[in-house]
């Protein structure tokens, strides 16, 4: 349908029964963004000529990694049985760390298209996203994608979907988003099966704010779903959580770029600009209402909780200001990153940042480096521990340098996750070995079909935040998939391990480890450091210590000048005197000398999981 016709449309004519709000949920790389592009083309929202591959994936990092990080939205007009429907496609991220984005995107929907790859089949995140949608009581439209591929096996996949989700074969759509084959059946199914929004146009305004981002020219842009009533440009509105009042400066549809419409009505989804200064004012899950008609707010979203923490420092300390500005700009669009200033003896000034998970942290680092050209060092990631002290007080610790002395600790609790791994049966041994090494406890093992299994494990979050995912992929030739959800805390025997250089602890290198693993990790870290610390004019002792107990040691021998070079022959006592003098000088130097740590030392330690 042509955009020129739409601008003459009156959105008031689109009553709730002609509106459908839906999203597409899938595992990474199962074709979600490609299907979104085809739907935009099919409905004339973007033309086939100007198409930008993965139109809704706007960030460079999204296109490079093939993932969706920020939820985007687009409105489509579609003619079905001679009637025109307004379909709002709410794009969701597919990765485990962004599941809070998925859940808030789904909150604005009444239905979801469940997309499964015809070759790879059901994966761990397919299951996680299915259950998220199922819990929110959405109508699910199952579709098998990529049926044009030579090795596609829709029969096998249909069997898997029946086993995993109890979906019958006749309910499945067979499509190819890449070629456009049968894509229109998706839109037909959305109109036939998905419920229309259940709002009341005669009630006062009640709308859900489900996403927001910062635009340099227009300030904060919010995405809202109008649940009851209507909202017009110029209205005075109030945000329920902060009770701040704003004026609606601009409003309209995402088509897929913002298209002004002057008003939005019951059941419609669109953008709103109301002069908010920061994204923190636009709280996800907040309720907006007319200031003159206060209402009972919607049950809010749980705010996203940081689970993985790391220190971020500039490589060059003079770039601290540049890095601070870059972090401020990025957090404008991602209120789920928790940022605090911190300083380290070894690394200077920096920030302590909290993330939702490891991919979230990687994406944040990549965006800092790519979009803002800042060279950074990150310290080893840690999780949030609960510590019960001997005096009965309970404290939360995420920075190893704040870990209390062992005499003050009654018990330490660490966060635990329920992990789901889907793997081909020939790699089952590797997967079990990996989980056992990471202190995992198996809770379930079932066959998905004759070739693949579903494994469920309870694992400490601390054990999976460094390189677990890489090991999982390499141990299964890339075929296993993994997903996790948090499941509370449990007691564990954890200790703080310090790294000492010539008897002085280096704060940025201390880690919290399980007592059983402390010795092997201490040996590994000291060995690694020995390789990267340059020789100094004096000997450097590298030690790993738990409390006062040294558990591993390596030494970097001193560079030595040949002080006896000019003594040709002659008395041995003369040589000895010169060597003794040199030894004394070295001792003095060792007390005064400060060991210089190269940047690689930190990077090597972070990656030293072999």
Residue with tokens 């791994």: 421
* DSSP tag of 98: G
In order of their start, the domains of the chain are 3-193 (3.40.50.300), 206-290 (2.40.30.10), 308-379 (3.30.70.870), 386-492 (3.30.70.240), 519-607 (3.30.70.2570)
Q: Are 543 and 522 in contact (CB under 8 A)?
A: no
* DSSP tag of 171: G
Question: How far, in whole angstroms, is CA 38 from its chain's centroid?
Answer: 27
Angle between helices 515-532 and 599-607 (to 10 degrees): 140
Q: Compare 521 and 604 and report the one with higher pLDDT.
A: 521
Portion of the chain with pLDDT greater than 70, in percent? 85
Please, which pLDDT band fits residue 1 given cuts at 50, 70 and 90? Answer: very low
How many C-beta neighbours within 10 Å does residue 380 have? 20
Helix (H, G, I), strand (E, B) or coil at 314: strand
Listed ranges 63-77, 189-203, 529-543; the one with the highest mean pLDDT: 189-203
Query: Quick one: pLDDT at residue 236?
Result: 94
Please, which pLDDT band fits residue 435 given cuts at 50, 70 and 90? Answer: very high
| Mean pLDDT value of segment 300-305 | 63
How many C-beta neighbours within 10 Å does residue 484 have? 22
Q: Which residues of 130-149 are buried (b: 16+ CB within 10 A; e: fewer)?
A: bebbeeeebbbbbbbbbbee
Q: Are 106 and 133 in contact (CB under 8 A)?
A: yes
| Cα–Cα distance list, 152 to 119, 147, 316 (Å) | 5, 6, 51
User: 60-109, pLDDT tens digit by residue?
Assistant: 555 555 554 444 688 888 889 888 899 998 876 545 555 665 666 677 88
Strand partners, 514: 494
What span, in angstroms and rounded, lies between the C-alpha atoms of 261 and 218? 17
Query: Quick one: pLDDT at residue 212?
Result: 81
Residue with tokens 């089952």: 428
Query: Quick one: pLDDT at residue 172?
Result: 94
User: 314-373, pLDDT tens digit by residue?
Assistant: 888 888 999 998 898 888 777 778 898 988 777 788 999 998 877 788 888 888 888 888
Residue 430 scores a pLDDT above 90: yes
Query: Quick one: pLDDT at residue 410?
Result: 93
Query: Quick one: pLDDT at residue 603?
Result: 63
Please, which pLDDT band fits residue 232 given cuts at 50, 70 and 90? Answer: very high
Q: Compare 462 and 64 and report the one with higher pLDDT.
A: 462
Helix (H) or strand (E) holding 161: helix 154-165
Contacts of 334 (CB under 8 A, 6+ apart): 279, 364
Helix (H, G, I), strand (E, B) or coil at 337: coil
What span, in angstroms and rounded, lies between the C-alpha atoms of 208 and 198? 13
Please, which pLDDT band fits residue 415 given cuts at 50, 70 and 90? Answer: very high
Please, which pLDDT band fits residue 579 given cuts at 50, 70 and 90? Answer: confident
Count H helices and E strands in the chain, helices first: 15, 32
Listed ranges 140-144, 272-276, 401-405, 483-487; the one with the highest mean pLDDT: 140-144
What span, in angstroms and rounded, lies between the C-alpha atoms of 183 and 174? 9
| Cα–Cα distance list, 290 to 125, 208, 293 (Å) | 39, 13, 5
* DSSP tag of 603: H
Strand partners, 139: 111
What span, in angstroms and rounded, lies between the C-alpha atoms of 443 and 466? 23
Query: Quick one: pLDDT at residue 610?
Result: 47
Residue of 26, 180, 20 lying closest to 108 (CA atoms): 20
Contacts of 123 (CB under 8 A, 6+ apart): 27, 30, 117, 422, 481
DSSP result, 317-386: GGGHHHHHHHHHHHHHH-TT-EEEEEEETTTEEEEEEEESSHHHHHHHHHHHHHHH---EEEPPPEE-EE
Take residue 162 and report the two structure tokens written for it: 């029946």
User: 357-400, pLDDT tens digit by residue?
Assistant: 777 888 888 888 888 888 888 888 889 999 999 989 999 998 88
- For 404-493, where are the E strands, in sequence order? 409-424, 441-447, 452-460, 481-492
> Does this model's pTM top 0.85?
no
Query: Quick one: pLDDT at residue 303?
Result: 63
Please, which pLDDT band fits residue 571 given cuts at 50, 70 and 90? Answer: confident
User: 24-35, pLDDT tens digit by residue?
Assistant: 888 877 888 888
Residue 200 scores a pLDDT above 60: yes
Q: Are 21 and 99 in contact (CB under 8 A)?
A: no
């Amino acid at each position: 349908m042509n955009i020129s016709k739409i601008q003459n449309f009156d959105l008031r004519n689109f009553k709730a029964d002609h509106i459908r709000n839906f999203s597409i949920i899938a595992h990474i790389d199962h074709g979600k963004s490609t299907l979104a592009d085809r739907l935009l083309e099919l409905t004339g929202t973007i033309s086939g000529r100007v198409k930008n591959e993965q139109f809704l994936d706007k960030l460079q990092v999204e296109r490079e990694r093939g993932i969706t990080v920020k939820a985007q939205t687009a409105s489509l007009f579609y003619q079905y049985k001679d009637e025109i429907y307004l379909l709002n496609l709410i794009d969701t991220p597919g990765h485990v760390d962004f599941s809070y984005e998925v859940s808030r995107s789904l909150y604005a929907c009444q239905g979801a298209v469940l997309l499964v790859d015809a070759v790879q089949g059901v994966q761990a995140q397919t299951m996680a996203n299915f259950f998220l949608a199922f819990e929110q009581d959405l109508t699910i439209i199952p579709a098998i994608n990529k049926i044009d591929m030579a090795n596609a096996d829709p029969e096998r996949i249909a069997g898997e979907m029946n086993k995993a989700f109890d979906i019958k074969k006749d309910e499945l759509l067979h499509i190819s988003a890449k070629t456009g084959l049968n894509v229109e059946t998706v839109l037909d199914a959305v109109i036939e099966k998905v419920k229309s929004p259940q709002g009341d146009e005669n009630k006062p305004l009640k709308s859900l704010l489900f996403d927001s981002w910062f635009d340099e020219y227009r300030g904060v842009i919010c995405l809202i779903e109008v649940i009851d009533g209507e909202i017009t440009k110029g209205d005075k509105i109030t945000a329920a959580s902060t009770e701040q009042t704003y004026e609606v400066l601009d409003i309209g549809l995402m088509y897929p770029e913002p298209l002004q419409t002057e008003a939005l009505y019951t059941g419609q989804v669109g953008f709103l600009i109301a002069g908010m200064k920061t994204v923190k004012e636009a709280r996800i899950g907040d309720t907006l209402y007319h200031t003159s008609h206060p209402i009972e707010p919607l049950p809010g979203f749980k705010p996203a909780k940081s689970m993985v923490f790391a220190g971020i420092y500039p490589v060059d300390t003079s770039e601290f200001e540049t890095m601070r500005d870059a972090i401020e700009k990025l957090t404008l669009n991602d209120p789920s990153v928790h940022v605090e200033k911190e300083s380290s003896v070894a690394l200077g000034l920096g920030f302590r940042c909290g993330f939702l998970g490891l991919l979230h942290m990687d994406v944040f680092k990549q965006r800092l480096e790519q979009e803002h050209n800042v060279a950074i060092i990150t310290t080893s990631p840690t999780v949030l521990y609960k510590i019960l002290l001997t005096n009965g007080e309970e404290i939360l610790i995420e920075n190893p340098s704040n870990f209390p002395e062992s005499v003050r600790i009654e018990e330490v609790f660490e966060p635990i996750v329920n992990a789901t791994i889907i793997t081909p049966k020939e790699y089952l041994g590797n997967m079990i070995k990996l989980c056992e090494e990471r202190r995992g406890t198996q809770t379930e093992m079932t066959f998905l079909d004759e070739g693949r299994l579903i494994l469920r494990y309870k694992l400490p979050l601390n054990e999976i935040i460094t390189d677990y995912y890489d090991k999982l992929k390499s141990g299964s030739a890339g075929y296993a998939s993994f997903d996790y959800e948090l499941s509370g805390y449990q007691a564990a025997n954890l200790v703080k391990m310090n790294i000492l250089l010539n008897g002085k602890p280096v704060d940025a290198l201390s880690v919290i480890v399980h007592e059983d693993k402390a010795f092997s990790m201490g040996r590994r870290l000291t060995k690694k450091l020995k390789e990267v610390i340059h020789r100094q004019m004096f000997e450097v002792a590298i030690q790993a210590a738990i409390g006062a107990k040294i558990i591993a040691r390596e030494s970097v021998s001193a560079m030595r000048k040949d002080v006896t070079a000019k003594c040709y022959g002659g008395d041995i006592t003369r040589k000895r005197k010169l060597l003794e003098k040199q030894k004394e000088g070295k001792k003095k130097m060792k007390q005064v000398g400060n060991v210089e740590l190269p940047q690689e030392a930190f990077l090597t330690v972070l990656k030293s999981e072999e």
